[in-house]
Chains A and B, each alone.
Chain A
Amino acid sequence: MQENRTTRISFVKGHNVENSRSSDSGVSARAYSNGSWGFASSPELHGDAVKSVIESATQNALFLDSRENKGRGPLPGVACNSENDFSTKKPRLGQKDLLDFAKELDDHIERIYPELASRVVTINCLDMEKTLVTSDGSFSHSMIPRAYVLVLMSVVKDGQPIEFYRPYGGFGQFEDVLTSPDDLFDELEQQYQDLVKKSEGVYPDAGLSTCVLDAELAGILAHEAIGHTVEADMVLGGSVAGDKIAKEVASPLITLIDFANSFDGKLCPVPVFVDDEGTKAEDAVIIEKGILRNYLHNKESAASFGVPPKGNARAFQFSDEPLIRMRNTAILPGKDKLEDMIASIDDGYYLVKPGNGQADSTSEFMFAVTLGYKIKNGKISKAIKDTTISGIAFDVLRTVTMVSENTHWTSSGMCGKKQPIPVGMGGPAIKCKINIGGR
């Protein structure tokens, strides 16, 4: 049983274009018969509906089994129990409080930055609450929230609109994450200053270049470039990672882990304690000092590879079947200082903030860069316009020569793979060689 609750408020240049809430809840069941799966769901939550959903899922598994005749045995399962409710303990804010919060931010931006051609302030909150029982004996109840304020600023330079977008917030309900609009004013000032520099930016020179990818880009690199490539369904589908277990795929400076719920004694942005097949969630070490160690599995692929599952089967809505997904994927920090990394480059780029990204079975990835700078003679130079970077992940990771000592987590976007799902991405800054798009 699951309920996803969302709140969305948006102001475009002071106009309140969205003011809504939604709730989607229901029950689903998944049944397995000799290698064939059946799934069913319903928004109704009463006893008869639950019974009907279980019957329908079972019939679907039997329908498919009767035609496919795979004759495979049962999947192993280990019972586990978990209760994790991260609801705020503070009094809940109402819609008016959230509208006032967004309006105050919007008014502040309008007042302090009159040069802006446009602005968008959006509040986006998602609570995912689910209860799971399995025939293996697992029981889990969780309420995993996230809350974000998304701010887009835009200026016009030489008749062309230039924009820069930043998310503020993270794991937790709004009351625990964003206490007052004032708390964001310093970050908004930084966002504006970055936009001004970007508006005077130049096109990067297209081609292979030495770059420092700041922490947010290293996080998306870990997710897009490596994480997707080692999902077991991608591996079985022919991913280039398929022949590389126990082989060197990266610089020895690189250790990459898909964390279940905690890192360095703190909760990750999208903590998972029991996955949606009832498997206890544990950290999955993907690359250890440059050596590929593990893929990410659901129960079925884990059985096929003869390894224990670590809890990577996740579903977004009550009506979704679990897929192999990442949780919180991060490169571990190293020992270098960011300023030393920049100082070590004569001619290259310091790439700071990412946009969207995409992976591939070949491990050739791309992601957008929404803020970056040229590096000339070890110093940060001109800002660059929006661009895209790409490379063959395992080739790029072999070129890593420096890793910074800090770690930064992000979780504002959705990972797309048939269904969307929140994921955490983290990492330090890394120095590597990468293809950059430009003119």
Chain B
Amino acid sequence: MADARSIARNGLDSLLSAGAHKAQCRATLAARHEMNLELGEITLLRTTFDTSVRLTAIRDYKKGSSSINKSDAASIQQAAHEVLAIADASAPDEAYDIAERQPTKEFSTGHDSPDLDKMHVRIKEFLGEVESRYPQVRIMQSYVDFTRQSECFVNSNGVDFVSNNGVYHCVFMFSSKEGDKVSSFNYTGCSLRDLEKDFLDSALLDTLLRQSVEQIYARPLQGKFVGDVVITPQCFMDVLYFLTESISDSALIGETSIYKDKLNAQIANPILTVHSRPVSDEICDGYFVTRDGYAAENSTIIDKGILNTFLLSLYGSRKTGLKRSVNDGEAFVIEPGKTMFDDMVKSVEKGVLLSRFSGGSPADNGDFSGVAKNSYLIEKGKIAYPITEAMISGNMADLLMDITNVSAERTDFGFAVLPYVAASGITVSGK
């Protein structure tokens, strides 16, 4: 079978032969080995191979793209002709472009192949531990996989990047049941370089399983108040997704972003610093090449509360006249604070420890509302009891400004490194 570089080269040559003035091709070969877990058993071993060839052409400032999952010459040639037809159908736009030439480079991280026996042993150990420590817990719709990906990005300006990575991924979903009482399901996941560490010690899993058992006897929240929220590392990703959406192409080109005039302005409390570090040792599941074909670099998105960069693509940059981002975002690393989690809780008079937010996508202006799942009431500096039927509402932009604390402890998810974050001014309503 052809390697990613020869497939990508073939794609690029086909696009140029078909008449592209500028062209790029990203070819990806992926092999995935996955074990599925359901109710204390390994139910399925899954092996999938896939190919992705993404072809993009620009002719007369018109652009078209197509992706196929075949790598033979005839399929690529046919797809290249289709891409040119798609491009010809579009309206011209001088902002369409491809990445400039950069030094050819090959990146590599992780293992080449999975250790299936070890994967099986680790899962059995995990299931055994869960059964003995938390007999009420039911693991469902969970999996552990190893994905090996080889990718090549080439374009007609001479960009030629190859990246190879092999990473384990774990996703665990669970609820707990005793008699006819059941807890809300919860989930967590992480990326791992290897299988040296117990799954229970990853991604706050042990804590979440313990809490799942406690939550069998969650009580409906009564009344309504405005208070503090202590957001778990996993749950804070929802805030980061809102931020990312608001500073990316669509929101900035469409001029719907509340941050469109906020570059170099304060958008969060100065105790918050958010990095995107796709090529850092802290992140085992990052990326080396951006979607536009630039070698990815680390960046600081929020520096002590100041918005330091937008996440604009090459096209977004040309359309808005603003600087292109040096990466595609994600791979978030938040600087730790100075307060331990327990002390953060002690400083809360009345609030909620928010472990999972089940709510509608925030509006463009940042307004959000939803259910506080797997969460706890905090009263007078103590975690009181697990709650159910509790809704929270507020505004994401306000929440970032109203951050009161960032924990010293951080959780390493492999794809992100995040602390607990506390904020004030959240409306909490129960029955």
Contact = CB atoms under 8 A, between A and B. Distances in A.
Interface of A: 12-13, 15-26, 28, 36-44, 56-57, 60-61, 63-64, 67-68, 70, 94-96, 99, 103, 117-120, 154, 160-163, 206-208, 233-234, 236-240, 242-243, 319, 321, 355-356, 358, 360-362, 364, 366-370, 385-388, 390-392, 417-418, 435-439
A17 B256 contact: no
A215 to B, nearest CB: 19
B361 A356 contact: yes
B116 A63 contact: yes
B393 A386 contact: no
A15 B38 CA distance: 46
Given A43-B50, A60-B45, A355-B360, A22 B66 contact: yes
Nearest to B120: A67
Contacts of B63: 16, 19
B202 interface: no
A115 B43 CA distance: 56
Nearest to B82: A21
B278 to A, nearest CB: 23
A42 B48 CA distance: 6
A13 B253 contact: yes
A362 B182 contact: yes
Contacts of A56: 47
Interface of B: 35-36, 38-39, 41-51, 63-71, 82, 85-91, 93, 95, 116, 120, 138, 140-141, 143, 174-177, 180, 182-185, 224, 249-250, 253-258, 315, 319, 358-361, 363-365, 367-371, 373, 388-389, 391-393, 427, 429, 431
Contact of A238 (B90, B175, B370, B427): B175
Contacts of A208: 431
Given A163-B256, A438-B427, 14 more contacts: A16-B93, A22-B66, A23-B68, A40-B48, A64-B35, A118-B255, A161-B363, A239-B175, A319-B48, A360-B358, A366-B358, A386-B369, A387-B360, A388-B391
B50 to A, nearest CB: 6
B148 to A, nearest CB: 15
A208 B430 CA distance: 8
A12 B255 CA distance: 10
Tell me the interface secondary structure of chain A in the complex: strand
Contact of B41 (A70, A240, A358): A70
A356 to B, nearest CB: 6
B44 A390 contact: no
A234 B141 CA distance: 9
A239 B182 contact: yes
Contacts of B253: 12-13, 15, 17
The 4 A-B pairs with the shortest beta carbon distances in the complex, nearest first, are A368-B360, A437-B369, A96-B89, A237-B140
A22 B370 contact: no
B42 A64 contact: yes
Nearest to A319: B48
Contact of A438 (B89, B140, B141, B369): B369
A277 to B, nearest CB: 13
A400 B46 CA distance: 44
B177 A238 contact: yes
Given A17-B253, A19-B65, A437-B370, A26 B50 contact: yes
B45 A63 contact: yes
Contacts of B391: 206, 388, 390, 435-437
A435 B95 CA distance: 47
A118 B254 contact: yes
A161 B365 contact: yes
> Considering residues B49, B120, B367, which has the most beta carbons from chain A within 10 angstroms of its beta carbon?
B49
Contacts of A96: 88-89
Nearest to A368: B360
Contact of A154 (B67, B86, B143, B254): B254
